[in-house]
Structure 1
Amino acid sequence: MSDEKPPTGKVILITGAGGGIGRGIAVEAAKAGAQVVVNDLGATLDGQRESSAAAQTVVAEIEGSGGQAVANGDDVSDPEGAQAMVRQAVDTFGRLDAVVNNAGILRDGFFHKMSYENFDAVVKVHLYGAFNVSRAAADVMRQQNSGSLIHMTSTSGLIGNLAQANYSAAKLGIAALSKSIALDLRRWNIRSNCIAPFAWSRMTSSIKVDGPEQQERVDRMKEMSPDKIAPLALYLASDDSAETTGQIFAVRNNEIFLMSQPRPSRSVHRGEGWTMASVRDQAIPALKSSYLPLDVSADVFSWDPV
């Protein structure tokens, strides 16, 4: 990061910050002068609780470099856990300026093989987790008349991916949640934005390699450091981003993208109304050229990262 330190004096809560992207944001936030609540449940990749040592390790790293941080081991999928981590931020540092909803788990599987339990668990951590923590933080931020909520979405939800119906549904849901938060809370100067990160982390390390093409993709991803996500996240947490809300960004190595949001792309009109036959013979032929293909994320981001 540069010598600029926009988050100086800010209190930032980062969920899932025991490793990967969350850790990178926490460490850089502390370097930039923020006081950080490092939340991590200490769970396995599929969400089984292990230990909260990961959060404490990051806190020790931050404190060893002269920063200020506290560890939190509460569960984002539990509303009371979300309230507890927000309360800890306020009790420890006196306020809460920004939240990074980064915590997540994976339980990949093709849709026809996916169990209710695996769908439910992933949605609970990603989507409900983002709601729970943001909802708890909103009460504090409304009293302060300021705040920034930053949510990790994914191109798996924004575009699509194989064998990730649970993860994709949660991540696209987060984008809609963020937009609603931005609309509802702007009167209190509370911003809400999304980041779709490309980075090699514990979650992406679970990608199955089933051929040379997939291996090549994984090898490229290994070159994308999770630390690359921090500059945009910290900008969104800073006062400099006061006019940025309701947006979806993606970060891939040294590239930052502003992602589109659904809008009408083409329309047809028939004064006398439609029948099934006229839909078949007129509407669909007119619209079909604008159909979107069944892309996956790698099809859309098909060039090498820079």
Structure 2
Amino acid sequence: MRTVIVTGAGQGLGRAHALAFAATGHRVVLNDLDPARLDAVAAECPQALAIPGDIADWGFAASLVERAVADTGRLDALVNNAGLVRDRMLTNVSEAEWDDVVRVNLKGHFAPLRHAAAYWKAQAKAGTPVAARIVNTTSGAGLLGSVGQVNYSAAKAGVAALTQVAAAELARYGITVNAIAPSARTAMTESVFASTMAAPEQGFDAMAPDNVSPLVVWLASEEAGFVTGRVFEVSGGSVSVADGWQHGPAADAGRRWDPAELGPVVRDLLARAPQPAAVYGA
């Protein structure tokens, strides 16, 4: 029986992930800042362990991994889901709003990832076979940007880059690292999707968080060992692979450029490059 940590498990996507893992026979270790909310979800999950605390706190993140291993005897997957928003237009964002969003969404991913990876690396070096999985949560805002969410977009873009670097560094130890960019109705997005109704022709609520969880459960499985360093967009019944930054058209003078000659060069490069997808809300 595989053991998985799910952060931000008290509501929304985290709750949906927890229930999906429990339904497929996993031991679930649930984390959220709100103990009451977390206990309510744990009550719905057989063999669940609820550990409330601040996932962006370095010491707590280490203790979460340690306790998961101590109480269940193993750790096989980490689902980084915890996040928050403090939406403002760029010139209205306060320092606290920037720091809070970056801390929870980015450091709150890195801290548990770092401690879980260290545990699995030690196992691999000791000769124990490792089939570990990390699933991060980025966002369309992190992939394309979103007007009014400069702090959230920057943090979630950081999560996407973190995913790629971690995948490259950890593959040798049997650890895969992927990310999802979900679209669902949650406490963070309820104002956006409040008027969204289930599509009758589809027979299900396309914005329900439960639609995202099957991909997360699969990415955390042993079967998914051939996939790493990728970002998947998921919404309703749709799953797609996000295509990130690529090397584009280039011009090489074979010497240092003169600023005065770069105008036509840049115009030519832009004419030959594909148009970037638009920023959300632009």
Residue among 142, 152, 174 paired with 1:189:
174
Residue among 67, 73, 96 paired with 1:88:
67
- State how far apart, in whole Å, the 2-side matches of 1:116 and 1:157 are: 20
Superposition deviation, residue 130 in structure 1: 0.6
User: Which structure 2 residues correspond to residues 18-37 of structure 1 after superposition, within 5 A?
Assistant: 18-37=10-29
What letter matches 1:287 in structure 2? L
Superposition deviation, residue 132 in structure 1: 0.3
- State how far apart, in whole Å, the 1-side matches of 2:55 and 2:29 are: 13
- Contact preservation (8 Å) 1:200, 1:223: no
User: Which structure 2 residues correspond to residues 111-150 of structure 1 after superposition, within 5 A?
Assistant: 111-145=90-124, 146=130, 147-150=132-135
- State how far apart, in whole Å, the 2-side matches of 1:296 and 1:99 are: 30
What letter matches 2:66 in structure 1? R
- State how far apart, in whole Å, the 1-side matches of 2:98 and 2:12 are: 23
- Contact preservation (8 Å) 2:251, 2:269: yes
- Contact preservation (8 Å) 2:109, 2:159: yes
Superposition deviation, residue 143 in structure 1: 3.0
Residue among 196, 212, 225 paired with 2:208:
225
- State how far apart, in whole Å, the 1-side matches of 2:51 and 2:173 are: 27
Secondary structure, counterpart of 1:295 in structure 2? coil
Residue among 54, 63, 67 paired with 1:75:
54
Superposition deviation, residue 251 in structure 1: 0.2
Deviation track 1:95-137 (CA, whole Å, cap 9, x = no partner) reads 1110000000110000000011100000000100111010111
Superposition deviation, residue 144 in structure 1: 3.3
- State how far apart, in whole Å, the 1-side matches of 2:257 and 2:13 are: 50
Structure 2 match to 1:98? 77
- Contact preservation (8 Å) 2:9, 2:82: yes
Judged with a 3 Å threshold, the aligned counterparts in structure 2 of structure 1 residues 83 and 206 are, in CA distance, closer, same or farther, namely farther
What letter matches 1:106 in structure 2? V
User: Higher mean Cα deviation, 52-61 or 266-275?
Assistant: 266-275
Structure 2 match to 1:284? 266
Work out whether 1:200 is the aligned partner of 2:182. no
Residue among 255, 258, 268 paired with 1:275:
258
- State how far apart, in whole Å, the 1-side matches of 2:63 and 2:21 are: 21
Work out whether 1:245 is the aligned partner of 2:228. yes
Structure 1 match to 2:202? none
When the two chains are superposed, the root-mean-square deviation of aligned CA atoms in Å is 2.0
- State how far apart, in whole Å, the 1-side matches of 2:110 and 2:276 are: 31
Q: What residue ranges of structure 2 are gaps of 5+ in the alignment?
A: 125-129, 200-204
Superposition deviation, residue 229 in structure 1: 1.1
Secondary structure, counterpart of 2:234 in structure 1? strand
Judged with a 3 Å threshold, the aligned counterparts in structure 2 of structure 1 residues 274 and 255 are, in CA distance, closer, same or farther, namely same
User: Which structure 2 residues correspond to residues 256-267 of structure 1 after superposition, within 5 A?
Assistant: 256-267=239-250
What letter matches 2:48 in structure 1? A
What letter matches 1:185 in structure 2? L
Percent identical: 36
Superposition deviation, residue 293 in structure 1: 5.1
Secondary structure, counterpart of 2:44 in structure 1? helix
- Contact preservation (8 Å) 2:147, 2:280: no
- State how far apart, in whole Å, the 2-side matches of 1:149 and 1:22 are: 14
Aligned length: 270
Work out whether 1:56 is the aligned partner of 2:39. yes
